[in-house]
Amino acid sequence: MQAKLKNILGLVALGVALLTTTVPTWAGQVITGGEVSIYIGSDHSSAGGTMVGARYSADNKQYIECTTYLSTTIWVPLIQCYAQDKAGQHILCSSRDPKFQETLQAMTDSSYISFQADSKGACTDIGISHGSNLLK
């Protein structure tokens, strides 16, 4: 009888443990995927992906990043964005337009980032989106 009770308590504990690890996965709307995608064309290229999608993807290739620079001694771009997809394709754009630097100030750990580059690698557009459904 005591052994049966122990078994039941064990099963209950197991059930609770499994339930608590599963519940957060299904609460609220979550955009799955969000992995880095890259388009490379003859006159322009573009990339997009979420920070979470890239970071927690199944592969260890993809990532997306943006950098802001200041140098008082050498020429540097104001900003630069770089993305690599799971196949290893990558694109880069850079710019000295202050409006893009301001855009990058909106980056968070749950952002969706997209950018476009012309054929010379200059950024023509950078977009950053936030939403509860982009959180991990």
Residues that bind another protein (CB under 8 A): 14, 17-18, 21, 49, 51-52, 54-74, 76, 98, 101-102, 104-105, 107-109
Comparing CB distances to another protein, the nearer of 42 and 71 is 71
State in angstroms the smallest separation of the CB of 42 from another protein: 28
Comparing CB distances to another protein, the nearer of 119 and 136 is 136
Classify residue 93 as exposed, middle or buried by CB count within 10 Å of its CB (0-12, 13-18, 19+). Answer: buried
Return the number of other C-beta atoms located less than 10 Å from residue 70's C-beta. 7
By C-alpha distance, which of 55, 37, 57, 56 is closest to 47? 37
Per DSSP, the residues of 84-115 read E-TTS-EEEEEE--HHHHHHHTT--TT-EEEE
State in angstroms the smallest separation of the CB of 90 from another protein: 12
State in angstroms the smallest separation of the CB of 113 from another protein: 9
Distance (Å, rounded) from C-alpha 79 to C-alpha 100?
7
Comparing CB distances to another protein, the nearer of 78 and 117 is 78
Comparing CB distances to another protein, the nearer of 119 and 132 is 132
State in angstroms the smallest separation of the CB of 2 from another protein: 16
Which tokens is 102 given? Answer: 């301001």
Task: State which amino acid sits at residue 103.
Answer: T
